[in-house]
Copies of this chain bind each other. A is one copy, B any other.
Amino acid sequence: MPRNDDHGVTPQGEDFSAWYNELVTKAQLVDRGPARGTMVIRPYGYRVWELLQSELDTRIKDTGHDNAYFPLLIPESYLRREAEHVEGFAPELAVVTHAGGKELEEPLVIRPTSETVIGEMMSRWISSHRDLPLLLNQWANIVRWELRPRMFLRTTEFLWQEGHTAHADEAEALAETMLALDLYTQVARDVAALAVVPGEKTPGERFAGAAQTFTIEAMMRDGRALQAGTTHYMATNFARAFGIQYTSEAGQLEYCHTTSWGMSTRMIGAIIMAHGDDKGLVLPPNLAPYQVVVVPIGRGEQFDSVLAASRALAADLKQAGIRVHVDERTQLSPGFKFNDWELRGAPIRIELGPRDLDAGTAVVAQRLGMAGKSTLAIADLAATLPGMLADYQDYLLRRAATFRDEHTAVVDDWAEFVSAVSTGWALALHCGAAACEDDIKAETAATPRCIPLDGPPETGRCIRCDADSAYGKRVIFGRAY
């Protein structure tokens, strides 16, 4: 049941889905767009995306990839060139049939992903082994028509980056696929504080047209999994469809091996659901628009001097590299502001009143965990807070890892499996048959999330059908977003 005041959200334990839907709006991260299933990303939400973008973009460039930009509109016939690809994406396409006041001779689809148009361009740009590897990335908007839209998680339009690379052989292309997965793992763990598990998708969960798909899976606080980034090894599937060929050093004409990989605004949904609580958002300092919010307290002339001191403190903290905001709104009470910044997930709040000012101290309150409130010397804050923020960032990752481990069970029994996937993940042996995956999904709503890269070797009987297990290790099963 929705709460009446501005800050209340339905408790997670009561209705996790309602909690999420109310929170994304009340924290001013997003709003509904006018067209069905679209979202408006408001400044507070967009800043989180910009910070994430910047962290990922730096890593993408540092590993030798160049940004480029490819067209939004793709001839419909391009998608049909790769049979599995069109089958996977056809139901989700938005189609432009008219433009410039006329009906188009060939309809154009809005990119649901860009393998086809980039494949076409790669075929023009690559001719020799000297042109390889070709390492490209683009930041772009994507349209996929969603039946059950949900802010950040499934919207008809979303933002992402998509890496697309071409290589001389399978080994290089697979190494690239793993490199990209490692970039995603770094960003998810070190920036978003998500305790992700990198692994491979089972054949039934692969990207349409890929030979192998890898993923990082994060656990949300309702125990569900969220796929936070995927990388795909395409073998020569797209190279054959689009004629991406090169002449080898030996003078032979060969097909390239290609990859693609994407991380999207979905990550913001993951951050909300992996860290948030009944008070609202919990943002990791590395992605918080404001890492520290200063709330000046007082009336009349006292307020003026507290405000001046707050601004001076903010200037100090900014100098120390901290993203800081002074909440100068005069029509709102301090208590309202405290709740507001808890709802919006600011990692640290500083309360500064007349008595604090006289004593040269301020009250420092962390959004979550550890120390709670403490009184610190104002003069020390610029030196102290960066370490406090770093500790808070580490704390969120440890907390997420602990939560994930406490909600993951190694199971060899069907009843245990059913119980495990109702509250978290099950690590189980599986036969690898698509029909058996479907059966498990029909019974429990759980799907194979990934075969963890670092899972120890193990074989035995399938958790569901008792056939020989596949993959040589356990698979993570869970319900997923």
Contact = CB atoms under 8 A, between A and B. Distances in A.
Nearest to A142: B72
Interface string A18-46: 00000000000001011100111111001
Interface stretch (A95-103, A315-323, A349-357, A420-428): A95-103
Contact of A43 (B42, B66, B73): B66
A403 B40 CA distance: 45
A387 interface: no
Interface string A85-102: 000001111111111110
B69 A108 contact: no
A48 B300 CA distance: 51
Contacts of A75: 34-35
Contacts of A92: 100
A435 interface: no
A71 B38 contact: yes
A448 B141 CA distance: 37
B94 A94 contact: no
Contact of A98 (B40, B97, B101): B97
Interface in A136-161: 136, 140-141, 143, 145-147, 156-157, 159
A80 interface: no
Interface stretch (A116-124, A163-171, A185-193, A251-259): A116-124
Given A31-B124, A91-B101, 9 more contacts: A33-B121, A34-B71, A35-B108, A41-B69, A46-B69, A72-B110, A94-B96, A94-B99, A95-B97
Interface of A: 31, 33-35, 38-43, 46-47, 49-50, 66-75, 78, 90-101, 107-108, 110, 117, 120-121, 124-125, 130, 136, 140-141, 143, 145-147, 156-157, 159, 329, 331
